[in-house]
Each structure stands twice: as structure tokens, then as C-alpha cells.
Structure 1
């Protein structure tokens, strides 16, 4: 079952061209590669690299494709170009290559490419225009900061930059005029606002954005360029909403996030009225937290492409036809069937201070062992969503009950909730784990056979649970996790340090707290066995984090196994490595959760 689940291919929609062709990421070969799907549904592989590709776009008015890719999971994006008029598999030709720095694709335009790079100082990201004919480059923005997203207006006169701002979990919006490079501040750098899913109006008079400015939930608001004013488009006081405007100036796709699920509906643009829901399977995500896998409209607005996934459906590209409301799943003809899997149950767990922690409970599909694995998401400001996870599905097949929490600090449950773990409140999220442990008997689980499993910040939570609550947990699996907040901030990529300090604390002023909240500081208290997985090229959480926790435990005689993959970065993306690491991790859990301690 494990091999089957991990080997099921996924498809992610990337771009569409004027003739209805679709670019997708497809991992049926074991790594994520670029494929083209023709309007008649036929597939063509465009890349066949040993490493995975991250993103790609058609160059309008041509048969060129720009590909964003990196080597060994380093996340040091490089840009190459494909000529689709070449027969067979086209050659991947270098376009912007500077392997010491990040060079990430923003947008392909007629005759030019917009990209972001940190090559000026390794910290700040500049927005560059690259002329495809001459190779000449123009700087559109070099005002500093981590530019996380760029959205160009349809008339190419403007770009909106989304920058990581000075406040944790907040984004600043800047407007840049492309002809003059003049910058207008739309939202203040110190404003407590999250902003995402910027979508321009077809006439370039303004844009829509999902924002929680002055409210608890993400609402859909419009910014008008002429008047520099905001107005509400759609507001839901209980849910987060985002929207993507169709080029026909008539329609709007609206995503609604509720308790880990994102639904899509077609709305009328002029008044926001709902026209029809998209009839997707219930309980999944047609966008991930409104920041990833977002819908893409065709140039004429006749159809949209997007990616849908759920706990029982691997990520799959869909085409939605506006006029007929037809939905078509775009899968290769030889795509294997998905085995029957359990849907999660949504529950709430009372925590130490009366807060209610949202959790998803996945019941075992194999013989029930009476054990539990608490699977913790990364971030910390991200969320556990109702998405495809072969890890969770495999754990339930092993016989474990899997509890997936959105501890305080998670997004999707309002601004107040995700601010409850900021800085000095960091360990309150770890206390949520203790509350979940105490609650486990209510769902029929033996508390003495409970383990922690998480990646990235979720890996930090695993280590923190074992260090600060050593009497509670029987075992832990840490994937690319943080052992010390201090050494993590010292050694992470410089551009990441500049933004992560706003969430965790600053090395210059908060070292005492950072040390106190670090699992490595309490390593002598850890007694549960630990299994660690890390990529040697991880630019976010350096391999040294895994090495120092495993070395410290080995010195104390605590069982700890470390697996390092030389061709991976922040997590395992290659199928061959996933099929090596996770069976070992599951065997480790089977051994240590088999009997009551």
C-alpha cells in the first residue's frame, strides 16, 4: 500500500496559452517535470531532468516556454527556455543562470521575462525584466526586502509587489510604474495585514486582493488606482475568501476557505453575485490557503485551469469552461486508480487556556493498533489543509489513528488565532500538543502509544514536544526540523533570516528567549527515540540542525537514526528517496508504538 500511495502521480496546473494549451507539473516519472496538454487532451512531455522543475509559463505570441528549476533541492532557481517547435523532447537552454543565487520566474511576456533575483546582496530581491531577443536587462525594483509575489497589470503599465513586512504574518503592497520605476506605497510596512491572491481588473484600473486589513478574516477587496481607495467586494465574517478575475470582465472565480477546505464558485464581477458553485468532490482544496495552486484564466476568459486535491484525491489539474460550467479532470490515459481511503473527521480539542484547537482525525484503515501519530504542519503560519498526503494515508494503513492539528499560530482560523504563538508565546503552541495528548482517550487511543511526526516547523514542534513534554511521547519523526531557533537563524539563508526573525525573535535582542524555546537547550530531558530525515542541500533549515540534535542524543544513549539525502533540499521530492526514507520511518513507529510503555 505504501509504495502504491507514494507512487500515485500528481498534476499541477501552471499556465494556459491563447489556443487553450495547458502547462502542468507532472511527477509520474518520479520527479516533477513540465508537460503540455493540448486542447484535445493529448499530452507531451517537455522536460526530463534528474531534478524537479518548479514552475513554467508560455511566452505569449510564440512557442517558447520559460522553465524555473533548481538542482538538488537547493531552491536556487535558474531560468531556462524551451522551443516547442523542436520535435520530440525540446532542449532546455539556459536563459538566466547564476547558480549562487535565486533567480525565480515571475511572468513571461511577449518578448521578455520578469524574474526576481537576490544576486545583488543575497538578501534583498530585485525585480528584473530580461529581453529575450537581446538579453538586455532592466531593473524595475531594487528597493529592498523579500518580494514574495509580483502581479503585473494587463496593460503592463504597473506591477504590484507583495513584500514580507516588518510585522509577523503580514504583507506590504507596493505599486511600481514600469516606465518610470516610481514606487507607490499601498499598505504601510508596519501594518498588521496579510494580503494575497492579487488579481488585476482587465482594464488595469485596479485590482482585487484577499486581505484581513482591519478585520479578523480574509475578505475580497478592490483597490482603485485613480482614487487610491479601497472598497469591499466580498466579505464573510466566518470564512476567508479570495478571488481571481476573468479577462472577459464579466466573471470572477471565488475561493472560500473553511476548516481546511477550499471550494470554488463562479461569481459575476460587477456585483459579486454568485452564479454557480464548481461541482468538485466535497472536502478538498481547489487552492491551498489561497496562496498556492491558484486558478489561471485563459486569455479570453472562456475557461479556467486549477488544481484540486483532497485526502482521497491526489492533486489533479482541472479545466472549467465558463459558458457550460463543464469540469474536466486532466489526467494521463494510463493514470492508475486511487485506492479507497478514509476522509478525516473535523474535531476540536480543549487546550490549557480554554482555547479550542482544530484537528482532523484520520481513522485506521488497517488493523487498529490503538496508537496515535500527531502529524504537525510546517510554517508556522501555514495550516494543515484537507489535501493529499501519502504519509498520512500510509500511517492509517499501518493501523495508527492520525491526528492532524492546527495549533495556535496556524492560518485559516482568523487573525487572532495565528498571532497566538508569536515570539514569547512560541511555547504555547507546544502546550497545545500536551492538550491533544490528554484528549486522545476520548477517540479510543492509548496515550502511552502516541508519537509526534512533522516537517520543517512541524519538525521543531516534534523536537519541542519530546524536549518539553518528555513523559508524554513514545517516539518522534522529525523531517527537516529546527533543533535550535538560535542556530537556525544564524545558519539559514540570509534572505530567509531577514523575514523569519520577525516571527521567532531577533538574534540581536532575543537570544535568551530563542535559547529557552529551543529543543536543543533541553536535549538532556529527551528520552523518546527519534527518527530524523534531512536533505543535504536544505537552504531553509540547514542540515546542521539535524546533525546537532542526533549527535547530542547519541552522546546520551537515546536511540536516534539520521537519514541524509545528498540530492534533496527542504523535504523529499524524489520518489526514489521517499520510497527509501518513509518505509524506514514507518517501521520505526511500528516498533516503538507496538506496545504500551
Structure 2
């Protein structure tokens, strides 16, 4: 990913040409115009902050950036930018805990606003620029906590409550906070909260779905996303919750909102199953939509993308798994008719949305039906569902794979020719499926997946360990269960071919997780392929590496699924 400046008429100017992923924010009111760039090295996620000026030198290469906050031993997360300062989080104090720092752009003076430990998720500066609202992960399942630093300080929410708070913004008078929260409820609502956390007021709420939020810069309006089954429907409201307008889009998807500085309009980036990303400009009063970039223009005219249908898959214990089914393309390989791939998302406290996924579309194009489930433990379906896989319940989530396999004939699919694909936690699910349910799966593609929960927790980055232990279990207390829930424990049952992809610089799931599973495959003489990318981290960020890995993995699965593979463990 590189930074590109987009004018209202669609004119594009590339700003960066960096060797690794980047993101950035304008410095408001700067002249000449400047951008703060956040970038890492080879996917190591140790973000550094630099400055570029939009002038004749663009696009900027790595050695042309002006360093702002650089120390490659640590990560520095860009949280906010004002006309005079940059607010960032960093773990440079001890390599683990995240501090929040304000750095003056003119002289470089720094003020540490918060150094009380924890993992920072976001920070929002008050309108008077005297206080910051900080959102951090808590040690409760799928939960966050909000507190203030600066002129105002103190806890806003209870860190011991099982509740998630997101999209935090200040009211116009800086006396209260507006946020989305599932405090005291199943789904997130839009609420106003006093700075001491004592008074909570509902502005908008729904009984059956989450609400997302983006508040305008002047805090007079907000865009609300009504999230149902992997897509958002948008409405515009006054800050008290009164509805102004509905935003009508050509196709359902997941929109990201960026407000104009004067709060009169907002830009929408919308990613949909059949659209890799369109950009719109929306009138904040009327909801009128103007197309700036049609993402489908970058696709071949004759390319038909698969559109998913929404299903609920029953489980033996009475639950229902939300699942999106992408049908195989009509022009696919006839030998793959009836074959399927379960594509499992990462996280695990995340969700699969109905957005453009080139891997899913490519699998469909060759003739494979793709199932994209939100197994228990996924976000987007309420507080109860996201916590149904915590610690001792981990294997209930793995059991959902078997329930999905049982359901395949109901939509005309061949149970003998079904494979697993997943990255990160989805990679864990692939390895768990092929080792714990060996008779079900014909093959798997594991991308930066966990083969042992014990060695993963022992070797993952220190700043992540405590928050992963809240989900999987603690090494000092739950080791026996972590061993029981680890795919590597069941290697004697593994017989399915595996395609394994990993980045050498992965700070989350170390490369050793891939090496130990492929070593076991080699010892047992099971077909496998391991592709390690020296310039990648947790997943593949570079187009060249994706074009090398993904077509090879799809060809690997296609060859196996075109046959009637027989995979039975040795002791069957």
C-alpha cells in the first residue's frame, strides 16, 4: 500500500514509493502541504513516523523521507495529527507497554501524556487540544477501556467490565464523549458518556445489530453504520441522534468515513463483494452521493465476480453459524464442480465481511464454491457470540468446521472434496481442522497460522502476549488445555496435503510455527509446500509476493479437489 492524493475530479498523484506498507495523515492547515507517513520495514510492524511535503519531489522514496520519530527497535503508532503536533503511541519505554506522546512539529519537544501500561488502540484529541481520550485493550474478553490524559485525566469506563468501546470522539464543548459501546447490552449502541463515566445516555440503539460511528470534526453531526451480516447501511444524524438522511449506495459493502475539515461533506471508501473499492463524496446534510472513483473500472469488462448469499448453518449443540456462500463461476473447470473451500477469517475477535477478496474471487473463478463463515468467537453478532470460543471453549469453534462440513450436501457440494484456507487465527483453524478432523478435509492452505498455542504465546511479541492470553488461555494456568487445543498435538492424525505461507519478519506468529508443522509433514512423507517471504511480516502485503503465493496455492488445491482425494489417518 502506498499513499496517493486524490482530487475531487478523480485526478491521482502518487505520494510515496516505499519498499513496505505505508499509511498517513495530512497536517491540517500546513503550507506547503505536509503529510505524516507511517511505515514499517519488511512487515515487521515496528512503525516509524516521517514527514513529506507535497511538491515536485513526489513520489518519495525511503531515503527521501524526513524522519520524525524513528527507532527501528520499537513501534510508533500514528494516533492523531493537529496543526501543531503529532500524537503517537510507542512501546519504546520497555518494549511492551504503550505510552502516548505528543510531539510538537515545530521544535520537536515531546510530552508524555500517558505511561501507565497497556496496549493502545486509538487516541482522540479534544477540540481545545488540552486532553486526549485513549482507547486501550483491556484484559476482559473482546473488551476495551477508555480513559483521559492531559488537562483532564481519569477513567471513563471500567477496565474490569466485559464491554467494547470504539469510535470515541469529543462533544463540541469537550465536556462529554460520543462513542459506540456495548456497555450493559448485547450489541453496540451510540452513546454519550460524561468524562467521569458516571452518566450514560443512549443516542441510537438497535436490538439485533451493532452500530458503528464517525463524528464530524465540529461534533455537530455523525455518520452511523448499521451493521448486519457483514455490510453496513449508513444514516446521517445530528449529534443528538435526530436523523438527517439515509446514504444510498449502489451495492452493500463496508464503508470507511473521512470527514471534510468544515464538516460539510464526507468521503466514503466502500469495499463490496463485487467492488474492490469505490470512493464517493457525500453531502452531510442531504446524503446526496457523488462518485469520485468507481472501483469496478479497474476490473476487466468481461470479469464476472461471485456475489455471496447469506446462510445460517446449524450446529449439533443448537447454535447457528453465519456463513456467506460464494458460488463457483459458470466458466470454471468442470472437474471442480461440487468442490468447496472454507475460507476462515483471522482474529479471532474479528469477522468476515461481504467485501472484495481476490482469493475468494479467484477460487470461485476456477470453479470452486467458497464458504466464508463467522464461526463462534467472531465479532459482529453480539457480545455472547464473540465470547463463545474463549479459553476452554476454543475447541467449540473448531467443532464449527465439522458442522459446516456436515452442511455441504444441503447446497449440493461433495463432502469428499472440501478444503480449508485461512490466515493467522484462520491458519490455526486450518491446522486444527486437518489434524483434529482428518477424515473431513482433503487439503489446506495455512497462512501465518498457529501450530502450537504454547510456542505461539511463548514467542509472540511481548507487547501482544497478555492480550492473546486473555483469548487463548494463560501459559502459567492453562498450559494443559493449550496443549490439548494445539494442532501439533495431533500430528499423528495428519494426512491432508498442506500449502504453507509465512513472512520471515512476522512479529505476531513467529516463523517457527510454520517450520515445525512442515517439518512434521516432511517426516511423515505428506505432500506439502512451504513458501517463506523474507520481506514480509504477518501476511503478504506486497503485490509481487501475493502474485507468487496465491496462484500457486489455488493451483495446489485445484489439483487435489479435481480428484476424489482419500485422506485417512494412519490409525483409522
- With the length of structure 2 as denominator, give the TM-score of the two structures: 0.94
Mapped contact 2:157–2:197 kept (Cα < 8 A): no
> Which segment drifts farther, 427-436 or 321-330?
321-330
- Does the alignment pair 1:141 with 2:122? no
Distance in 2 between residues matched to 1:326 and 1:375, nearest whole Å: 36
Aligned to 1:317: 279
- Does the alignment pair 1:305 with 2:273? no
Structure 2 SS opposite 1:33? coil
Aligned to 1:340: 304
Deviation per CA, 1:449-493: give whole Å up to 9, x if none.
Answer: 000000000000000001110110000000110000000001111
> Which segment drifts farther, 337-346 or 85-94?
85-94
Distance in 2 between residues matched to 1:305 and 1:333, nearest whole Å: 14
Q: 2:238 aligns with which of 268, 276, 281?
A: 268
Deviation per CA, 1:283-302: give whole Å up to 9, x if none.
Answer: 3111xxxxxx4x12112111
- Does the alignment pair 1:569 with 2:542? no
Shift of 1:323: 4.1
Shift of 1:164: 0.9
- Cα distance, 1:47–1:227 mapped onto 2, change above 3 Å: closer
Deviation per CA, 1:237-287: give whole Å up to 9, x if none.
Answer: 0110122222455422111100111121112223x132222111233111x
Deviation per CA, 1:92-114: give whole Å up to 9, x if none.
Answer: 21111000100111111122111
Aligned to 1:23: none
Structure 2 SS opposite 1:579? helix
Structure 1 SS opposite 2:413? coil
Aligned counterparts, 1:176-195, within 5 A: 176=149, 178-179=150-151, 183-195=153-165
Q: Which consecutive residues of structure 1, in runs of 5 or more, have no partner in the other structure?
A: 1-31, 287-292
Aligned to 1:28: none
Aligned counterparts, 1:82-481, within 5 A: 82-86=52-56, 88-89=58-59, 91-176=64-149, 178-179=150-151, 183-225=153-195, 228-270=198-240, 272-286=241-255, 293=256, 295-331=257-293, 336-337=298-299, 339-365=303-329, 366=332, 367=334, 369-481=337-449
Mapped contact 2:221–2:236 kept (Cα < 8 A): yes
- Does the alignment pair 1:530 with 2:503? no
Distance in 2 between residues matched to 1:479 and 1:461, nearest whole Å: 11
> Which segment drifts farther, 226-235 or 214-223?
226-235
Distance in 1 between residues matched to 2:91 and 2:343, nearest whole Å: 34
Shift of 1:586: 0.7
Distance in 1 between residues matched to 2:491 and 2:548, nearest whole Å: 28
Q: Across the two proteins, how many residue pairs are aligned to each other?
A: 555
- Cα distance, 1:460–1:333 mapped onto 2, change above 3 Å: closer
Q: Which consecutive residues of structure 2, in runs of 5 or more, have no partner in the other structure?
A: 566-572
Deviation per CA, 1:557-596: give whole Å up to 9, x if none.
Answer: 1112100011111111111111100111011101111122
> Which segment drifts farther, 82-91 or 210-219?
82-91
- Cα distance, 1:265–1:470 mapped onto 2, change above 3 Å: same
Distance in 1 between residues matched to 2:296 and 2:555, nearest whole Å: 31
> Which segment drifts farther, 356-365 or 42-51?
42-51
> Which segment drifts farther, 127-136 or 382-391?
127-136
Distance in 2 between residues matched to 1:245 and 1:118, nearest whole Å: 29
Shift of 1:226: 7.6
